[in-house]
Structure 1
Amino acid sequence: MQAAESAPGKVRTARALLIALATLITMGVTASLGFWQLSRAAEKQALEDLINSRASLVPWTERDLLQVDAIHKGLHRLARLTGEWQQNATVFLDNRPMSGRSGFIVVTPLLLHGQSQAILVQRGWVPRNFTDRTKVPNIATPSGPVTIEGRLAPPPSHLFELGRAEPGPIRQNIDVQAFAQESKLNLLNASLLQTAPAASEFERDWPRFAAGVEKHHGYAFQWFAMCATAALLYFWFQIISPRRKHRPHGSES
Structure 2
Amino acid sequence: MRGANLRVVATWRWALALLFVLLATLTCVRLGIWQWHRFEEKSARADVIEQHYDAEPIPLADAPASARTKLAASDDYTVVKARGHYCAEPECVLYVRNRVQGSSVGFWQLVPFKAVSGQTLLVVRGWVVAGQTDSVPATRPDVPSGEVELVARLRPTEPRLTDRPQVEGQLHSVNAPDVVSQAPGLTQVLEGTYGEAVRENGTAPEGLAGLSKPETSIGPHLSYAFQWWIFSVFFLLGFVVAVRRTLRDEAEEREAEPDASSAPGAPGGQASPSAHGRSYRYGSTRGGHHRSRGTDEDEEDSLLEERQE
| TM-score of the two chains, using structure 1 as the length reference | 0.78
- Residues 125-173 of structure 1 show CA distances to partners (whole Å, capped at 9, x for unaligned) of 1123316955662322221110122211122x4696853213x223333
Secondary structure of 1:129 counterpart: coil
Alignment partner, residue 28 of structure 2: 30
Alignment partner, residue 173 of structure 1: 173
Structure 2 CA distance for partners of 1:122 and 1:114, relative to 1, 3 Å: same
Counterparts of 1:135 and 1:38 in 2: how far apart (Å)?
41
Shift, 1:37, TM fit = 2.5
| TM-score of the two chains, using structure 2 as the length reference | 0.65
Aligned partner of 1:119 among 109, 118, 121: 121
Counterparts of 1:233 and 1:61 in 2: how far apart (Å)?
62
Give yes or no for the alignment of 1:128 onto 2:92. Answer: no
Q: Which of structures 1 and 2 has the bigger CA Rg?
A: 2
Secondary structure of 1:188 counterpart: coil
Give yes or no for the alignment of 1:78 onto 2:74. Answer: no
Aligned partner of 1:237 among 211, 236, 242: 242
CA-based RMSD of the aligned residues comes to: 3.3
Identity %: 21
Unaligned runs of 5+ in 1: 1-5
Counterparts of 2:29 and 2:152 in 1: how far apart (Å)?
43
Counterparts of 1:22 and 1:170 in 2: how far apart (Å)?
54
Counterparts of 1:30 and 1:129 in 2: how far apart (Å)?
48
Counterparts of 1:202 and 1:12 in 2: how far apart (Å)?
72
Alignment partner, residue 198 of structure 1: 204
Alignment partner, residue 227 of structure 1: 232
Give yes or no for the alignment of 1:95 onto 2:91. Answer: no
Alignment partner, residue 11 of structure 2: 14
Unaligned runs of 5+ in 2: 257-309
Number of residue pairs matched? 239
Structure 2 CA distance for partners of 1:208 and 1:60, relative to 1, 3 Å: same
AA paired with 2:62? D
**Which range is displaced more, 178-187 or 84-93?**
178-187
Secondary structure of 1:94 counterpart: strand
Shift, 1:41, TM fit = 1.7
